[in-house]
């Protein structure tokens, strides 16, 4: 079974700064999918970014980018020019190629952007 570890329960950063959230995972598979979801105080789960393991290029979405290190099984999320609206819980998730419909989530990192 896969496991996903987010070792930073809480983080805070000043507005406009850059912050990196860590995620490691354990799997014996070669092809899989990784996700970062954001959960603001509204509780809605929102997809931030998705990475396919077979792609060497790191995924980016505007101010959000990932550092995907397949050999190290690491999948960190970098938020540039952080904004107050980035305050949220962030969850890393693993999707198996053998059953990507079933996601395994980490326990989350609570990120606070300080004005």
Calpha distance 110→102 (Å, rounded) = 23
Verify binding: residue 43, another protein, rule CB under 8 A. yes
Alpha-carbon separation of residue 81 from 52, 53, 84, 113 (angstroms) = 25, 27, 10, 11
To another protein, the closest distance from the beta carbon of 16 in angstroms equals 29
Q: Which of 28, 30, 42, 57 binds another protein (CB under 8 A)?
A: 42
Sole window of 21-29, 30-38, 58-66, 75-83 interacting with another protein (rule: CB under 8 A)? 30-38
Q: How many CA atoms lie within 13 A of 30 on its CB side?
A: 0
Q: Which of 51, 106, 111, 113 binds another protein (CB under 8 A)?
A: 106
């Amino acid at each position: 079974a896969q496991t996903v570890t987010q070792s930073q329960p809480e983080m805070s950063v000043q507005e406009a700064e850059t912050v990196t959230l860590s995620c490691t995972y354990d799997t014996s598979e070669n092809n899989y999918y990784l996700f970062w979801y954001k959960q603001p105080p509204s509780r809605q789960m929102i997809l931030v970014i998705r990475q396919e393991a077979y792609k060497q290029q790191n995924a980016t979405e505007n101010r959000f980018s990932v550092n995907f290190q397949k050999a190290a099984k690491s999948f960190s999320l970098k938020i540039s020019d952080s904004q107050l609206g980035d305050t949220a819980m962030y969850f890393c998730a693993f999707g198996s190629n053998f059953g990507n419909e079933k996601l395994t989530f980490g326990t989350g990192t609570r990120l606070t952007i300080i004005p």
